[in-house]
Amino acid sequence: MRRRVQVAPARSEPGSRADLSRLLASGPFSAALRAAIADSGLSLDRIQYRLRQHGTPLSLATLSSWQSGRRQPERDASIAALGRLEEIVGVPPGALAALVGPRRARGRMAYAEAPDLVEVYRGWDPIAGLLSEFDTGSDDLLVRLSQYERLTVGPDRRLRELYSRALVRAATNDVRSAIVIDQAADGSAPLIRPLRGCTLGAVRSRPEAGLTIAELRLPRPLNRGELLVMEYVVEFTPPYPSDRETSRRLRLPMREHVIDVEFTRPALPARCVQFTASGTDDDVETERVLTLDERDRACAMGVDLDPCVIGVRWEWPGPP
């Protein structure tokens, strides 16, 4: 999926302060964290802001994944942030940290069974609602080995199109289609146009949310181990989106991923960064400053990637 990383809303734990005390005593960690956040009355956005102010930043995706139980804090930066989080939500020091389970298996083999597409976006409206209308089984078995994307930004600072090329491999027999999800922060629903290795199948859109989900049908069913090059273009329509970042969520390891963001003069950014949010245990973001090349492109690159979110964000000159 392209665009800003989306986060499922926090689910409040029903009950009273007594429920929180019980969960802090017996766990599990995810339920205790949900109850503590609900009891504090703070939104995830506010908690994220306070963590950043204290020098222990976490992404919203991290907080959501900790609450859901999909991941837990394990790295040093995550443990430090958890200590500050305990203070922010008003629980005793170490109360949540004591509930964190043993360190989980790491490395590529830990992701042999990635969550399916429906599970990844469960509860993330409006994506989940539209996605439920598709058969996503083939997409879950189509492994992306490498992917190149080029996003074009017009002279009015608005998005024009996203070109994507992927080398894919079937993980089993009878793989027939892929799913493309594209959502912008504003604008109308984009159009998805196949170029190579696929044709357009079912399409669902939510124009008010800038969202389109499309099925790309393969030329024929692929058998296990077969390779295919797929190309398509996402065409944005007026009023064009004014997003200031683009990103891709990787559910499985990928050999390489490249994102070019091509700007059109005179609209050149004041600053561009590549960001990567870990898909292992915490989603803590790392950034790398990018410089424009001779074609006014900022290029983000990653090789031998584990599941993560990788993207580019930029700032325009002048007041925010």
Give the tens place of pLDDT for each residue, 118-152: 778 877 788 888 888 888 888 888 999 999 999 99
Domains 17-99 and 109-315 share a fold: no
Q: What is the pLDDT of residues 282-295, one digit of tens each?
A: 456 789 999 999 99
First to last CA, the chain: 27
Question: CB of 204 within 8 A of CB of 213?
Answer: yes
**Any idea which of 69-83, 97-111, 184-198 has the lowest mean pLDDT?**
97-111
Question: CB of 253 within 8 A of CB of 199?
Answer: no
Question: CB of 117 within 8 A of CB of 140?
Answer: yes
Beta bridge partners of 250: 308
Q: At residue 108, does pLDDT exceed 80?
A: no
CATH architecture of the domain 109-315 equals Sandwich (2.60)
Q: At residue 13, does pLDDT exceed 50?
A: no
The angle formed by the CA atoms of residues 263, 266 and 270, to the nearest 5 degrees, is 65
Beta bridge partners of 227: 169
CA separation, residue 227 to residues 111, 166, 197, 222 (Å): 21, 10, 11, 8
| Among 39-43, 50-54, 98-102, the range of highest mean pLDDT | 39-43
**Nearest-angstrom CA–CA distance, 245 and 260:** 12
Q: At residue 115, does pLDDT exceed 80?
A: no
Tell me the pTM.
Answer: 0.66
Q: Which residue has the higher pLDDT, 105 or 145?
A: 145
Helices (H), ranges, the chain: 17-26, 29-40, 44-53, 60-68, 76-89, 117-120, 127-131, 137-140
CATH architecture of the domain 17-99 equals Orthogonal Bundle (1.10)
Where do the structural domains in the chain lie, given as residue ranges?
A: 17-99, 109-315
Kindly state the percentage of the chain with pLDDT values over 90: 53
**Nearest-angstrom CA–CA distance, 17 and 271:** 46
